[in-house]
Amino acid sequence: MNDTISSKTAAAILNVNESTIKRWADSNILKCVRTAGGHRKFTIEEIRNYANRYQNGNSGLTQKLNSLESKSNLQAQNFKPFIRKIERNLISGDTKAVYDILFSLFLKKIHPSIISDQIIKKSFESISEKYKMKSLGIEDEHIASNTMISALSQLEKSIIPQKNNDKKVVCCSLENEFHGIGLLCLKISLLYSGYDCIFPGANLPLENLLSLINENKPEIVCISNSTQDENKLIQKQFKKLEELSKKKNFSLFIGGSRSNTNRLSGEVYCDSIEAMLRKINKRI
């Protein structure tokens, strides 16, 4: 059933409640197949047929449906076309277009961590390079960042999390760290992977993070760091968190820039969201 989707995914595509999808299936408005466990599965072709019968003229839906394909086919593709499309729409400030691309990738069963590492990150690397070459202005970079934040906020509302594993994760960045896109990508990846994500966001003073840890007793703490230059204060804060993780029995992971992590154990730093999730899943 590689080319089938669940009731939840069908509901997300057609913008209705899952109970509506089940009712349509039971009334034979939507044809479904049943798994051995009795779960309803819908072929992509059947969703297309329904759209043609009942939702003609819905260009947004048509775009999502046309983008659907099997996971194996997508993995054979190059991500470069998606990177170029997202970059172009980020610069023009088209939140809807960026969201549609991200959501279509999610519907193709590409994990949010891969979307973040392989597409979103590389889109911004290209924008940053063009800014350095002065072919883009600071205003273009700001428009791109705010557009992505808006698109990611919409994506978070659309994703269907995997089964909750009852593990708490605090996800944040420390004081004077304002870059929020990587943090949002991490949050979405954690939520989809079934973690209970406590998200105070960016620019959180260390003392407030320590209070949050004492209050919630998380199994995991994830920190986003984009500071490129060595900073003794940040190094001390990271070291204090690592020492606290041993006393409070939680796992600490720091992603983003490798700077200021050289005094920490090798398992703490992660160079990508995908790598961080692998370490988290291995540790828990």
Q: Which residues of 38-49 are buried (b: 16+ CB within 10 A; e: fewer)?
A: eebbbbbebbee
The CATH architecture that domain 168-283 belongs to is 3-Layer(aba) Sandwich (3.40)
Tally Cβ neighbours within 10 Å of residue 142: 11
pLDDT number for residue 283? 78
The rounded distance, in Å, linking the Cα atoms of 218 and 102 is 29
**Sorting pLDDT into bands at 50, 70 and 90, what band is 1?**
very low
**Domain 74-158 falls under CATH 1.10.1240:** yes
Section 195-210 average pLDDT: 95
Domain boundaries, the chain: 4-57, 74-158, 168-283
- Mean of pLDDT over the chain: 87
pLDDT of residue 64: 61
Q: Which residue bears the tokens 């086919």?
A: 73
For residues 272 and 258, what is the distance between their CA atoms, to the nearest angstrom? 11
Q: What's residue 76's pLDDT?
A: 40
CA dist., res. 76 & res. 91, Å (int): 28
Can you read off the two tokens belonging to residue 263? Answer: 């005094």
The residue to which tokens 């490798």 are assigned: 258
Q: Which position has the higher pLDDT, 197 or 33?
A: 197
Give the pLDDT score at 38. Answer: 81
| pLDDT digit string, tens, across residues 15-65 | 888 888 998 888 888 888 887 778 888 887 788 777 777 655 455 665 666
pLDDT of 238 higher than 90: yes
Per-residue model confidence (pLDDT) at position 41: 87
User: 209 pLDDT exceeds 60?
Assistant: yes
The CATH class given to the 4-57 domain equals mainly alpha
What pLDDT does 284 receive? 72
CA distance 20 to 100: 23
- Residue 126, Cβ density class (10 Å: 0-12 exposed, 13-18 middle, ≥19 buried): middle
Give the orientation angle of helix 121-132 with respect to helix 138-158, to 10 degrees: 170
Better-scored residue on pLDDT, 179 or 89 = 89
